[in-house]
A and B are shown apart, each in its own frame.
Chain A
């Protein structure tokens, strides 16, 4: 981790309590961390498209969301036809979901940008394992 640069994370999650939890946990892990929030895929995409050079380092992505869900976001962000964000500027994505359905894990990991698949609840330990990895 580069100390000079502030580590930024985008949490894409529709549930307010979960957003709150993520933020709390991430700040516990690193008080200086920059946590950004989006409540569905479309909002996240809009944010990323408007962020320019200030792209997040990591994205935590929920699957089940109203409006644009996690899969739709993945397809638009790092799918084969995607051109919203240049490939070299795309952040790594960690899925964060309460779904224990095996198909969801496989489907998510089929995207190159998805690096990990975490089950809720969101804990500091889990953040540590992801970030160090």
Chain B
């Protein structure tokens, strides 16, 4: 099954009851949210803050104006006097204001006058105010009041309306002048405008209302002059100093100065914001920027904190999984999260790791099998080596056997033939003694040959005869052997002792008999004639899972340097007692080995001990296998 498909399916199953999210979209959402917050905050703080400040400033200003407007002239003077008394530099402050705003004042007036000249107004009635006085003084040379009135009156009726401009200084009774103007206006059907330049004081407002009521003037204007502002400023400041003066000089009033129509009963102010306000606003703005920057930084930090947390949350499943894999591949399971990408990665990894673990198991198993095979092969190799070794030694044995047999078979024959020649010659010479002697020698040689051939036949029989295991009475077997051997030379001189702790052996009869017979006959052959009481002690016992038959004698024993060769074929140990074919002990050894047992030689102070060792039936079965 393709890996990807399974992972996707299982991922879907995993998702089933839990809604998952794309990590990238989560990050994007957090980022966008942060950006929206930042921008919103910037806009809001700057807008709200600035608006707030403007609103505050305007309301403060209008409150002041309303306050001043509610004062009577005397009250105002009183207040100003108090202020001026208490404040240093108030006059300087005022003149600074004047200086600054003269140009604008002039501009206003000339605009009004321009309108008059254009004929938009029939009459312009200009009343001297606190500072328009100077302007009018200046302008009197250009357009004196009387001339203006006369000019106005002389002007033929036209579509043009005119304003009459009056300076209060030129007339003692303002109302008279106004009424005169009104009359003229009525006569001529002209429109009259009235402009009063002065402070917005309660007195002035009342006066304007009065003019409005008592004259025919269509509209009455109050010029709200800059001095008002400076006054406002001055009254607002409780402790003016040089800085304040400098600040006042910088106050900027727009040209479009403030018109008030008491009839409308609304004070409309069009003022550009004084410097202080601007700087305040700037400060507020700057503050807003700092605040915004602070918030932006905080939001960015928060963004990164959230991002980090999000990443850790998202990767925790993977890192946990990685740790679990490092600990134990097989037991590691990926726990799904709400992050889709990581789920997919995790599921894919899960599949891969599981397959890896399975593959590893398979490899381990096949490794174990290989090791097992290697062990088997190694064992087989060892078996082969052993078999080979056995074969080689068997081969060597066979070669030696052939060599020694050919020698030992040929030797007595060759001697006999030569001896026959000697005998023949002795007969010819009628040397009877020589004939006898050589005849004896011939007999010896042939006897030796016969013994050898007999032993070879026995050896062959040991190798090839099949016979069953059976329970054997040792005493009986030894008795038979002794009976056979009783004809041997010196037999009657030797004392035989028997002691069977283990009276029965479970083994093969003929082979055992051959062995026991040979052991006893050897003991007889190699008896020591010099011993006073030659003996042979035959014992049986059980020991460590073996039957042991021991034949002990006080005969000639085996010289130390001959013991190694003791059981090899054709070893004859005693030159002068050389009865045997040299195969005797070799035969015994082979026979014992064929029964699963062995023969061992032990030295003792008086002679030899030979032990025939046979495994007990259980052992025997094992050894057979």
Question: Quick one: which of B500-524 are within 8 Å of A by CB?
Answer: none
Task: Report the bound CA distance from A100 to B442 in whole Å.
Answer: 22
Task: Report the bound CA distance from A121 to B441 in whole Å.
Answer: 14
Query: Could you say which of A20, A67, A100 contacts B441, with CB atoms under 8 Å apart?
Result: A20
Query: Could you say which of B407, B445, B576 contacts A64, with CB atoms under 8 Å apart?
Result: B407
B437 neighbours in A (Cβ, 8 Å): 20
Task: Report the bound CA distance from A66 to B570 in whole Å.
Answer: 8
B562 contacts A67, C-beta separation under 8 Å: yes
Shortest beta-carbon distance from B562 to chain A in Å? 7
Q: Known interface pairs A14-B572, A16-B444, A39-B576. Does A121 touch B582 (Cβ–Cβ under 8 Å)?
A: no
Question: Quick one: which of B534-587 are within 8 Å of A by CB?
Answer: 559, 562, 570-576, 578, 582
Q: Known interface pairs A66-B571, A67-B573. Does A18 touch B415 (Cβ–Cβ under 8 Å)?
A: yes
| A82 at the B interface (CB under 8 A) | no
B572 contacts A66, C-beta separation under 8 Å: yes
Question: Quick one: which of B400-423 are within 8 Å of A by CB?
Answer: 403-404, 406-408, 410-412, 414-419, 422
Q: Known interface pairs A20-B441, A24-B422. Does A14 touch B417 (Cβ–Cβ under 8 Å)?
A: no
A20 neighbours in B (Cβ, 8 Å): 419, 437-438, 441
Shortest beta-carbon distance from B452 to chain A in Å? 12
Would you give the 0/1 interface string for A103-128, flagging 1 where the beta carbon is closer than 8 Å to chain B?
00000000000000000111100000
Q: Known interface pairs A15-B415, A21-B422, A120-B414. Does A100 touch B575 (Cβ–Cβ under 8 Å)?
A: no
Q: Known interface pairs A66-B572, A66-B573, A120-B415. Does A101 touch B578 (Cβ–Cβ under 8 Å)?
A: no
Query: Could you say which of B410, B442, B448, B562 contacts A98, with CB atoms under 8 Å apart?
Result: B410
Task: Report the bound CA distance from A65 to B576 in whole Å.
Answer: 11
Instruction: Name the residue on A nearest B577 (C-beta).
Output: A66
Query: Could you say which of B406, B571, B575 contacts A43, with CB atoms under 8 Å apart?
Result: B575
Q: Known interface pairs A64-B570, A98-B407, A122-B418. Does A17 touch B412 (Cβ–Cβ under 8 Å)?
A: yes
Task: Report the bound CA distance from A133 to B410 in whole Å.
Answer: 28
Shortest beta-carbon distance from A48 to chain B in Å? 16
A121 neighbours in B (Cβ, 8 Å): 414-415, 417-418
A98 contacts B414, C-beta separation under 8 Å: yes
Question: Quick one: which of B433-456 are within 8 Å of A by CB?
Answer: 434, 437-438, 441-442, 444-445, 448
Task: Report the bound CA distance from A16 to B406 in whole Å.
Answer: 19
Would you give the 0/1 interface string for A1-27, flagging 1 where the beta carbon is closer than 8 Å to chain B?
000000000000011111011001000
Query: Could you say which of A14, A15, A100 contacts B445, with CB atoms under 8 Å apart?
Result: A15
Task: Report the bound CA distance from A99 to B570 in whole Å.
Answer: 14
B570 contacts A39, C-beta separation under 8 Å: no
Shortest beta-carbon distance from B208 to chain A in Å? 163
Task: Report the bound CA distance from A66 to B416 in whole Å.
Answer: 20
Task: Report the bound CA distance from A121 to B438 in whole Å.
Answer: 15
A39 neighbours in B (Cβ, 8 Å): 575-576
Binding site secondary structure of chain A = loop
Interface size class of B (residues with CB under 8 A): 20 to 34
Question: Quick one: which of A60-87 are within 8 Å of B by CB?
Answer: 64-67
Q: Known interface pairs A15-B415, A67-B573, A120-B415. Does A99 touch B407 (Cβ–Cβ under 8 Å)?
A: yes
A66 neighbours in B (Cβ, 8 Å): 571-575, 578, 582
Shortest beta-carbon distance from A44 to chain B in Å? 10
Task: Report the bound CA distance from A40 to B422 in whole Å.
Answer: 25
A17 contacts B444, C-beta separation under 8 Å: yes
Instruction: Name the residue on B nearest A21 (C-beta).
Output: B418
Q: Which of A14, A42, A64 has the most CB of B within 10 A?
A: A64
Task: Report the bound CA distance from A17 to B418 in whole Å.
Answer: 10
B448 neighbours in A (Cβ, 8 Å): 15
Shortest beta-carbon distance from B487 to chain A in Å? 22
Instruction: Name the residue on B nearest A103 (C-beta).
Output: B403
B414 neighbours in A (Cβ, 8 Å): 98, 120-121
Shortest beta-carbon distance from B209 to chain A in Å? 165
A21 contacts B575, C-beta separation under 8 Å: no
B573 contacts A17, C-beta separation under 8 Å: no
Task: Report the bound CA distance from A66 to B411 in whole Å.
Answer: 15
B417 neighbours in A (Cβ, 8 Å): 121
Shortest beta-carbon distance from A17 to chain B in Å? 4
Q: Known interface pairs A101-B403, A120-B414, A121-B417. Does A16 touch B441 (Cβ–Cβ under 8 Å)?
A: yes
A65 neighbours in B (Cβ, 8 Å): 572, 575
B418 contacts A67, C-beta separation under 8 Å: no
> Which 3 pairs show the lowest CB-CB distances between chains A and B?
A66-B572, A121-B418, A17-B441
Subset of 28 A-B contacts with CB under 8 Å? A14-B575, A15-B411, A17-B415, A17-B441, A17-B444, A18-B411, A18-B415, A20-B419, A21-B422, A21-B441, A24-B434, A39-B575, A42-B575, A64-B404, A64-B407, A64-B411, A65-B572, A66-B572, A66-B582, A67-B559, A98-B414, A99-B407, A100-B406, A100-B410, A101-B407, A120-B411, A121-B414, A121-B415
Q: B residues near A, CB below 8 A?
A: 403-404, 406-408, 410-412, 414-419, 422, 434, 437-438, 441-442, 444-445, 448, 559, 562, 570-576, 578, 582
Besides A66-B578, A121-B415, 10 other A-B contacts (C-beta < 8 A): A15-B411, A15-B412, A21-B418, A24-B434, A42-B575, A64-B411, A66-B573, A66-B574, A67-B573, A121-B417
